[in-house]
Amino acid sequence: MSNPDKTPGAEPSEADKAMKARVEARLARPVARSSGTLKTARRSIAYRTEAAFVPVAGKHGEPEAAVLTTAYLEEGVEPGRRPLCFAFNGGPGSASIWLQFGALGPKRVVVPDDASVGRAPYAAVDNPLSWLEHFDLVFIDPPHTGWSLTASEAAKKKALSTDGDIAMLAEVMRLWLVRNRRTASPLYLCGESYGTTRGAGLALAMLEQGIAFSGLILVSCAMDLATLVFAHGNDLPYALFLPAFANTAQYHGLLAGELGASSAAAREAAEAFVQDEYAAALLAGARLTSQRRSRIAARVAELTGLPKTLVDEQNLRISDGCFFVEALRSRGQVVGRLDARAAAPSAAQRRSAMEFDPGIEALSSPYTMAAMTHFAGTLGLDLDERYEVLNEDVNRHWDWRRGTLGETPGLQGCTCTSTDLAVALRRHPHMKVLAASGRYDLGTPYSASDWSLARLDAPASVLERVTHRYYDAGHMMYTRQADLEQLHADLTAWLAS
């Protein structure tokens, strides 16, 4: 493996030479351009699209990476006064096509509202609810997603880490602003899922460079991994996921009586139970009396639609993986993770773990195929190499520790960047935050986001600048037409506030 601190002139490995050659080829490509016109409810927008690879320089000035940026820029306006929004998805290991072709960009992939799998052909159509109405848009594919690459194994190791990823994308944004003479523009940032982890860190990292964001849009928050990672000794997600489980159980007809009457009734009952009894019961552990334990198990069963015997067997703790395979087991189905409205057939030999996520199946092929058609057909960006939509290798090799870029070995434990966001909010009095959560998202549940946002280390006067809105779909709530419209309306109101 390459040494990240090697002196210039040291002989690189054959693998590094090949990686460097691929990066240089990317950076040598001309900017891919096209133009278009978009009609929104308010006006007609003439825009141009520019897709270009941006270099990330290492210690000695040589490019460490080539990162693809796709910009949608309004024509005929003064660039310095036009707001600009950088956007990316998460994973880690995801390219930016979900936000780009789901809600923000001038083209949108239409999929069924109910999270079912639609039929081909798939295409990107005009999106009159595009955020181009409010900002110029720059979508970033982080290294080893899309067609973005690093130039050495050492650079790849850096890129595939929480702090290294933040540092590289901060440099991409800085250089894009300088090269395009947009340093005077009001700046915004939109991240989804792990993109909110990254985005919260970037809010502070960019501020350290003297570059301030006017606002952050956090779609499906994942700033505090302790709220999402089910592990022995971490009771937090068991409590925080329960309202989302109840919401999902009601949708699939698993709840009886008043709980089954509406999703709101199920959520509110679960939220109250977590606050009043369940969190304390988890904290008590083996100190629970048998009578109290039985009462808690019965209530968890009522709220989730799961058998009380299963709740007992799981020690009162229902994980996401357990809920996915057990909630609809009697029907021979598994529940979706990224959109819990979705369900798919179980294998003939029933498994104890989810083999695939029904919640992403309705989106993966339509978005991938429509994006490839757009890149090649409209932009002329026709690389033969595979466009990495969801790079599992990135996710498997991710270094989640903070502090790994310095001399210390890095901090252990669940990744957290909400602390970065809190500091940025306290330092910059004009920065505001809009968080968006889908109530059928079992990857980053709305109730876990509630907890993270409520615990931001800032006084109430600062937290008044944080807004949280909710939608009746999953992780990519904008795939449902009504929620796409509501998200656009919420964004418009938030910008005007």
pLDDT in tens, 252-273: 999 999 999 999 999 999 999 9
Give tens-digit pLDDT for 52-102. Answer: 999 999 888 899 999 999 999 999 999 888 999 999 999 999 999 999 999
pLDDT band for 18, please (50, 70, 90 cuts): very high
Q: Considering the chain, what percentage of its residues have pLDDT values greater than 70?
A: 96
Mean pLDDT of the residues in the chain: 93
- Residue 479, CB-side half-sphere exposure with 13 Å CA sphere: 29
CA 132 to chain centre: 20
Summarize the confidence of residues 178-206 as an average pLDDT: 97
- Predicted confidence at residue 9, as pLDDT, reads 57
φ, ψ of residue 56 in degrees (nearest 5)? -115, 115
Q: What is the mean pLDDT of residues 269-298?
A: 97
Encoded tokens for 486: 């509501």
Q: How many residues does the chain have?
A: 497
Is the pLDDT at 491 greater than 90? The verdict is: yes
- Per the CB < 8 A criterion, the answer to whether 38 and 128 are in contact is yes
Q: Ramachandran region of residue 181, left (φ > 0), alpha (ψ -120 to 50) or beta?
A: left
Binning pLDDT at 50, 70 and 90, where does residue 413 land? low
pTM exceeds cut of 0.85: yes
For the stretch 416-453, pLDDT in tens is 999 999 999 999 999 999 999 999 999 999 999 999 99
Q: Find the range with the poorest average confidence among 58-67, 98-107, 189-198, 299-308.
A: 58-67
The pLDDT value given to residue 404: 64
- Residues 223-228 have a mean pLDDT of 95
- 135-174 pLDDT per residue, tens: 999 999 999 999 999 999 999 999 999 999 999 999 999 9
Yes or no: say if 303 and 246 are a contact pair by the CB < 8 Å rule.
yes
Q: What is the pLDDT of residue 409?
A: 45
Q: What is the pLDDT of residue 65?
A: 96
In three-state secondary structure terms, 136 is strand
Give the sign of the dihedral formed by CA 102, CA 108, CA 113, CA 119.
negative
- What pLDDT, on a 0 to 100 scale, did the predictor assign at position 91? 94
Taking the CA atoms of residue 357, residue 484, residue 206 and residue 467 in that order, the dihedral angle to the nearest 10 degrees is: -100
For residues 372 and 378, the answer to whether their CB atoms sit within 8 Å is no
Q: What backbone torsions phi and psi does residue 462 show, to the nearest 5 degrees? A: -80, -40
259 phi and psi angles, rounded to 5 deg: -65, -35
- Supply the pLDDT for residue 250: 98
Instruction: Kindly give, in sequence order, each residue whose CB lies less than 8 Å from that of residue 301, ignoring residues fewer than 6 positions away.
Output: 307, 308, 310, 311
